[in-house]
Structure 1
């Protein structure tokens, strides 16, 4: 496994989340759809655990990406995993918990873009 690519992919996910959930993009809507509840927990713990999960997700992506996959193939796999597995799984949970369609679009959209970014990183960072 390419550990540098894993770290870059995890960092891209982390940076995407910071932008995605910021007031500049979807932060206000996301917060309103969650009932306007402020987040609890120490920020260092929240960010640390989130980054650790990003690393695990990047390792999992690297593990299922076939060797020699083209950029197009890696992007397609990212879309398949992000939307086809993660976002749809969120959709099932959100239906049963009566969460809004807007919230699903924001959270599912984030994870779809997250895994497409993973595809970009791993598709461009081929062993040479």
Structure 2
């Protein structure tokens, strides 16, 4: 496993998440769907934990696709994981929690983009 590619993938999803949940894209809608602004936590803790989870996801994806995946196969695997596993699992939880379909689209869409981006990173440099 190439540690540098794993770190690049984790950093890329962390950066995309920052943009995804910013007011530029879906941040305002996400706050609205959550019933207002989310409680404030210490930024170092929030961002540190978020990056750690991105890193865990990137390591698991690296194990899943192997050391030298073909580009198309890596992106396809990213789509399957992001949409078929993560977003679908969120959908189950969101139904029981009675969260909105729009919130599911925002959160599930981010993870679909995250894992497809992992596929791009691993497919190009793996």
TM class by shorter-chain length? over 0.9
Counterpart of 1:61? 61
Counterpart of 1:5? 5
- For residues 11-65 of structure 1, the C-alpha deviation after alignment (integer angstroms, 9 at most, x for no partner) is 0010001100000100000000000033321011000000000000000000111
In the comparison of the two structures, how many residue pairs are matched?
A: 126
- Deviation of 1:118 (Å): 0.3
Counterpart of 2:104? 104
Counterpart of 1:45? 45
- RMSD of Structure 2 on Structure 1 (CA): 0.9
Counterpart of 1:18? 18
TM-score normalised by L of structure 2: 0.97
Q: Distance in 1 between matches of 2:101 and 2:95?
A: 9
SS of 2:41's partner is: coil
Q: Distance in 1 between matches of 2:34 and 2:43?
A: 19
SS of 2:102's partner is: helix
Give structure 1 stretches of 5+ with no counterpart: none
Give structure 2 stretches of 5+ with no counterpart: none
